[in-house]
């Protein structure tokens, strides 16, 4: 993030210094226009540089038990995981037990993996966080959380239908 600020200020400073040496501008409005026009081309360049710099990160994992949920739409019994579409996006819906009670979460299917495991169903959230290295103040961290849902074997139903008409 500091990369954007430093490059923008540096180019504005150099442009003003260059213009003072050559004497093109003499009015305050000319300097304001010079600053604004320089910001239009320096900020995109600074974003590209900050995006290209590596970010040093560490991984934190959180694990919660998934509570069973029931659906009143002609489904009888308990199931651990629901799925559906929200705004044309596939999501997984589940309830987690928190201190205040139960809370519903919806996870993007592109960031979620489902694995079989023994025992109770759990949700593992994997966060990639920047550490305190100096380079992280100049780079952009664009990491997304990843999710692993562990469910008992047999939770995922296999359905194969071939229709060769």
The answer to whether residues 102 and 145 belong to one domain is yes
The answer to whether residues 110 and 72 belong to one domain is yes
The answer to whether residues 44 and 65 belong to one domain is no
Q: Higher pLDDT residue, 122 or 30?
A: 122
Mean pLDDT for all residues in the chain: 75
Token pair recorded at residue 112: 């979620």
The answer to whether residues 45 and 70 belong to one domain is no
How many angstroms separate the CA atoms of 158 and 101, rounded? Answer: 33
pLDDT at site 60: 92
How close are the terminal C-alpha atoms of the chain, in Å?
59
80 and 119 in contact (C-beta within 8 Å)?
Answer: no
Share of the chain above pLDDT 70, in %: 73
Residue 154 reports pLDDT greater than 90: no
User: pLDDT for 51-78, tens place per residue?
Assistant: 888 888 889 999 888 875 332 223 333 3
Domain that holds residue 28: 2-52
pLDDT at site 124: 92
pTM of the model: 0.62
């Amino acid at each position: 993030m500091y990369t954007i600020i430093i490059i923008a200020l540096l180019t504005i400073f150099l442009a003003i210094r260059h213009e003072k040496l050559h004497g093109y501008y003499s009015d305050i409005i000319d300097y304001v226009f010079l600053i604004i026009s320089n910001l239009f081309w320096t900020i995109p360049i600074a974003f590209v540089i900050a995006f290209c710099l590596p970010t040093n990160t560490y991984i934190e994992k959180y694990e919660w038990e998934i509570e069973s949920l029931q659906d009143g739409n002609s489904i009888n019994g308990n199931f651990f995981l629901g799925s559906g579409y929200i705004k044309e996006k596939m999501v997984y819906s589940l309830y987690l037990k928190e201190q205040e009670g139960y809370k519903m979460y919806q996870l993007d299917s592109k960031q979620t993996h489902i694995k079989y495991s023994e025992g109770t169903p759990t949700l593992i959230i994997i966060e990639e966080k920047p550490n305190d290295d100096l380079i992280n103040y100049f780079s952009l961290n664009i990491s997304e959380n990843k999710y692993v849902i562990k469910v008992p074997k047999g939770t995922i139903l296999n359905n194969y239908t071939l229709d060769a008409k």
